[in-house]
């Protein structure tokens, strides 16, 4: 027994996924979270300083 005609068209994936525009796909600088100095504690400030120092070292290597 064969498939019905309605079932055949149902299985096709006609709804494609939306594409992301190229201007939104730009590469980030590695900062993925927001940083608020008002809510930061000392450990956050030290981590931010270490991250900035590491970024500077990487920029010098290139």
Q: Where are the domains of the chain?
A: 35-62
- Spacing of C-alpha 19 from chain mean position: 15
How many helices (H) and strands (E) the chain has is answered by: 2, 0
Confidence check: pLDDT of 1 > 60: no
pLDDT tens digits, one per residue of 10-59: 556 666 667 877 777 766 666 666 767 788 888 888 998 999 999 999 99
Of 26, 44, 28, the C-alpha closest to 36 is 44
Residue 13 DSSP one-character state? -
Residue 12 DSSP one-character state? S
Which of residues 62 and 10 earns the better pLDDT score? 62
pLDDT band at 5 (very low <50, low <70, confident <90, very high): low
pLDDT score for 20? 77
pLDDT score for 38? 81
């Amino acid at each position: 027994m064969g498939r019905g005609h309605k079932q055949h068209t149902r299985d096709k994936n006609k709804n494609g996924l939306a594409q992301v525009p190229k201007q939104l796909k730009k590469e980030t600088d590695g900062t993925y979270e927001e940083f608020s100095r008002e809510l930061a504690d000392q450990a956050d400030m030290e981590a931010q300083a270490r991250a900035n120092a590491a970024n500077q070292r990487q920029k010098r290597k290139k």
